[in-house]
Structure 1
Amino acid sequence: MEKGRAISIALFFFTLVTVSYFSDLLVVVVVASSQINPKNYNITALFVFGDSTLDPGNNDKLTTSLRGDHPPYGRDFKGGIATGRFTNGKLVTDMIVSSLGIKDSVPAYLDPNITNHDLLTGVSFASAGTGLDDMTANLGNVIHMSTQLVDFQKCIARIQATVGNATAANIIQNAIFTVGASTNDMLFNYYDIPTRRAEYSLSGYQDFLLRNLETFVKVCI
């Protein structure tokens, strides 16, 4: 990859086949990111979309049971505070920005304490319980993937207002984008509550999710 070339990396987490497979995937992602020097490739920020695997607290103010702002979540996070992350410590995206030397962790876009300066190096729009199927977000009363894109556009406007259009364009062009979604679609909509199973075969529903993902990525990047 040439120095200065725009970098856009989409991480697609689909059906969680086994916990060990998922863990191995996260390890691979972190190791790969640790081998990239952000100064060599002009990596500016990390923008994150998806579900609970990447949500650092966007659900904290929602009227939903899908919230991680309570113990035992966060017990190994800085200060032992439950931030809304569905983990005892950092998310993989936190590890990525930390290993790249961008910042220590990726904040939630809907965090009321977020500043325009925080946006310059990236934020997460992810919402626990959401999916590539709008029906999945409806079930959990959480943030739709399409709404995450709307928030991203608002984020861009805030960045432009802070540093100007030219610098904002450089930040977005050289940012890493991650997308982690569809586990909830399969678990909730297809297997747990077989809403979509009445409409689609397994392969048919997977194709439906892939089409939604393709559309999302085209709009996002």
Structure 2
Amino acid sequence: MGKFHTSTILFVCLIQVSFFFISARSSSGKKVPAIIVFGDSSVDSGNNNFIPTIARSNFEPYGRDFFGGFPTGRFSNGRIPPDFISEALGLKPFVPAYLDPSYNISDFAVGVCFASAGTGYDNATSNVADVIPLWKEVEYYKEYQKKLRSHLGTDKANEIIREALYLVSAGTNDFLENYYTLPERQLEFTIEEYEDFIIGLADKFLRGLYDLGARKVSLTGVPPMGCLPLERSINILDYHGCVEEYNNVALEFNGKLGQLVKKLNKELLGFQLVDANAYDFILQIITQPSHFGFEDARVGCCGTGRFEMGFLCDPNSPFTCPDANKYVFWDAFHPSAKTSQLVSNYLIHTHLSKFL
């Protein structure tokens, strides 16, 4: 155990040092002129604030460790992965939500988020909480392209579109909020068939991005979703351990995503699609939290940490922890800002360095 502990700490330190030098180098070079984000709550910086849905987090205690200490709509106590990645690339320290009227096209020219908490590749998933479906995120992106060309001119805008790093993170809600919760898809597909159905939708989505000019894309699959506090809280028969069935599905699905990445890179000329799979690293954080400076990976910081997320994270809850940095998870579904930073640094060091 001691040997494992030492190697883990050294690896984390290496990532942190690399993160510092990457930031310094990117500040002067800026090979990536902008960050463009699609997906779900893992990367949504606040678009759901501006649509009629219950899937929101624009209230305390969310955002208490963000700049200024106010809630932004991020499902976190602070920043989320696109923010950390943007900063590491020498861009802004956060990526604004496209629907936020306090930002304009000059802000979005270096970073923009179209993601919507609660969405997935499957349109039926976005219907669960009436959030923005992935196809609508693409429509907003098309609108953004027009605004960008009007603002910067066609040549400059096309250069940004071509050289930007696109972050795509989705899939978890398709399984946990749709397939395993509602009967429709279970009646239509086995879990293996549903995985293939989602892969087909991801294929179509990524080809669509390519056709719109995207060339550098980071594709993140699903985390060890059986280890989310919400799933562990209801896993009574297994003494609140991780739900291995869900983790096995995550592994299988991520493997299929990896095959899709190879296929599209082979078929689409000039496409640089990266399989930014962080499953193993996240599982390592969850199973060995003390090695990363955490005290608890079983529950989230907010409330009792077992089932609270969104509006159930009561700002007046006496149970919300005083220091989110001690927790792997912020609420019952989403990582703390510290975890997001660790995962972002890991992805930059292991998967995204080719874009630097």
Q: Residues 142-221 of structure 1: matches in 2 within 5 Å? A: 142-220=131-209, 221=214
Deviations 1:101-120 (A, max 9, x none): 11110000000111111121
In structure 2, stretches of 5+ residues that fail to align are: 1-11, 215-356
Q: Residues 120-139 of structure 1: matches in 2 within 5 Å? A: 120-139=109-128
Structure showing greater radius of gyration is 2
CA contact (8 A) 1:33 1:99 kept: no
> Is it true that 1:43 corresponds to 2:32 in the alignment?
yes
Structure 1 counterpart SS, 2:37? strand
Separation in 1, partners of 2:16, 2:48 = 29
Aligned residues: 193
CA contact (8 A) 1:189 1:197 kept: no
CA contact (8 A) 2:30 2:90 kept: no
- Taking structure 1 as the reference length, what is the TM-score of the superposition? 0.83
Deviations 1:19-61 (A, max 9, x none): xxxxxxxx9xx86993474354621100000000000100002
> Over the residues paired in the alignment, what is the CA RMSD in angstroms?
1.8
Q: 1:134 to 1:165 in 2, by over 3 A?
A: same
Separation in 2, partners of 1:215, 1:32 = 38
> Is it true that 1:82 corresponds to 2:82 in the alignment?
no
CA contact (8 A) 1:131 1:137 kept: yes
Match of 2:58 among 36, 61, 69: 69
> Is it true that 1:119 corresponds to 2:101 in the alignment?
no
Q: Which has the higher contact order (CA 8 A, sep 6+)?
A: 1
Shift of 1:195: 2.3
Structure 2 counterpart SS, 1:141? coil
CA contact (8 A) 1:156 1:168 kept: yes
Paired position in structure 1 for 2:84: 95
Shift of 1:194: 3.0
Separation in 1, partners of 2:16, 2:199 = 26
Deviations 1:113-143 (A, max 9, x none): 1111112102000000000000011111000
Separation in 2, partners of 1:63, 1:31 = 39
Moved over 2 A (4+): 30-41
Structure 2 counterpart SS, 1:169? helix
Structure with the higher fraction of residues in helix conformation: 2
CA contact (8 A) 2:46 2:74 kept: yes
Separation in 1, partners of 2:70, 2:100 = 14
Structure 2 counterpart SS, 1:177? strand
Separation in 2, partners of 1:116, 1:184 = 30
Shift of 1:197: 1.0
Separation in 2, partners of 1:84, 1:78 = 13
